[in-house]
């Protein structure tokens, strides 16, 4: 994949959202145990950024993130699905840690969100390289 030029859309202790305007692509890097309020605020920021900038591809890197609470999982699923249902998203690649609790948490979010029809395909990966390749394959 070619080198992309990124701008930082959001930089916090627990999340970095980088944006490539030429590929309509964001890269979310989540870290640590994120307090509920900050997590929800960052999710809302991300969703609005996706809508406002016509984002089509997302790489969500959860490898350094501690699994959020079940309440937060349900909130994320319901709010993000409702906001993103009319987005231009095509593909979302999630890079997961080997931690089973985190994997279950991310799968739970997607299971709940699947009740709302979303315009994109999503997949889980353990390798960043595999996720990027899938995101941009022809």
SS3 letters across the chain:
CCCCCCEEEEECCCEEEEEECCCCEEEEEEEECCCHHHHHHHHHHHHHHHHHHCCCEEEEEEEEECCCCHHHHHHHHHHHHHHHCCCCCCEEEEECCCCHHHHHHHHHHHHHHCCCCCCCEEEEECCHHHHHHHHHCC
How far is it, in rounded angstroms, from Cα 111 to Cα 128? 22
Question: Two tokens at 126?
Answer: 């353990």
Query: Which residue ranges make up each domain of the chain?
Result: 7-136
Class for domain 7-136, per CATH?
alpha beta
Please report, rounded to a whole number, the percentage of residues in the chain having pLDDT higher than 90. Answer: 75
> What's the pLDDT score for residue 98?
81
Q: Residue 138: pLDDT above 80?
A: no
Over the stretch 21-33, which tens digit does the pLDDT of each residue have?
Answer: 999 999 999 999 9
> What's the pLDDT score for residue 5?
86
The average confidence (pLDDT) of the chain is: 91
Over the stretch 95-109, which tens digit does the pLDDT of each residue have?
Answer: 998 878 878 888 888
How far is it, in rounded angstroms, from Cα 134 to Cα 136? 6
Residues 6+ positions from 37 with CB-CB distance below 8 Å: none
> What's the pLDDT score for residue 1?
46
What pTM does this model have? 0.89
Read off the pLDDT band of 80 (50, 70, 90). Answer: very high
Read off the pLDDT band of 94 (50, 70, 90). Answer: very high
The pair phi, psi for residue 128, each rounded to 5°, is: -60, -40
Q: What is the mean pLDDT of residues 10-15?
A: 96
């Amino acid at each position: 994949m070619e080198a992309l030029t990124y701008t930082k859309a959001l930089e916090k202790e627990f999340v970095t959202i980088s944006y490539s305007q030429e590929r309509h692509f964001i890269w979310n890097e989540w870290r640590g145990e994120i307090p509920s309020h900050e997590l929800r605020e960052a999710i809302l920021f991300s969703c609005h950024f996706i809508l406002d900038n016509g984002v089509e591809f997302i790489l969500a890197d959860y490898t350094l993130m501690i699994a959020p609470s079940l309440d937060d999982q349900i909130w994320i699923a319901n709010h993000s699905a409702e906001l993103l249902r009319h987005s231009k998203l095509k593909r979302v690649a999630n890079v997961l840690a080997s931690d089973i609790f985190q994997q279950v948490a991310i799968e739970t979010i997607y299971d709940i969100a699947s009740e709302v029809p979303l315009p994109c395909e999503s997949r889980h990966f353990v390798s960043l390289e595999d996720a990027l390749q899938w995101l941009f394959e022809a």
